[in-house]
Amino acid sequence: MVQTKTKLTFAEFLEKYPDGSGIYELVNGEIVKVEATRAHKNVARFLVFGFNDEIRRLGLDYIVDKDIVFRTVTASGQEQGRNPDVGAVKASVWNSNVRGYGALIEPIQLAVEVTSTNWEDDYVDKLDEYQRLGICEYWIVDYLALASRAYLGNPKIPTVFVYSLENSRYLVQSFTGNERIISKTFPELEITVEQLVLSSQIQNL
């Protein structure tokens, strides 16, 4: 008899989450460890610092964290557990249950994915899931220009794509070089793609 492996629900994923041994996501019913290079982490950390500076400077109602886990649903109805490289959630939502763990079922304000070798997950799967959930803003930070020319053009250059939710659909803007990345969540943010590329190489903050 062939045994079929049971796919985990989001609730079961949270129960089985291996605390203290890394970052994990629920993908197609299985717990998958998410690993990142130091360069990848440098970019995420640079954005966390930049976002937090804006929150303090402008008194914005957001919490920024690298460990926000939330439930998404695929087009086929499969529950996923996602943990973006950087997430921003309204402080009122976060603080509504401060004794709870980091997992949310509500859409967060902003999700940032820094691309790696599995870049298609960010450009296809997560894009669809985040739009379906209703995340207001989604960044794909392709600081190594890893995606195909269909996304990046020819020649391929480091690019940040910012997707903004309008009438339940994402509208996208792309930014390269020394262009300031435009964000509805952080409208006065002064960060360029060049700065993100540099942050991947050197981080001493």
What is the reported pLDDT for 204?
60
The arithmetic mean of pLDDT across residues 133-158, rounded, is: 97
What is the reported pLDDT for 1?
46
Is there a contact between 161 and 122 (Cβ–Cβ < 8 Å)?
Answer: no
What is the reported pLDDT for 103?
82
What is the reported pLDDT for 136?
97
Alpha carbon of residue 182 to chain centroid = 17
DSSP 8-state code for residue 70:
E
Instruction: Report the distance separating Cα 4 and Cα 8, nearest Å.
Output: 12
Residue that is written with structure tokens 């509504």 in the block = 96
The model's pTM:
0.92
Residue that is written with structure tokens 């997430």 in the block = 87
Residues 66-124 have pLDDT tens digits of: 989 999 999 999 999 999 999 999 998 888 776 566 688 889 999 999 999 999 999 99
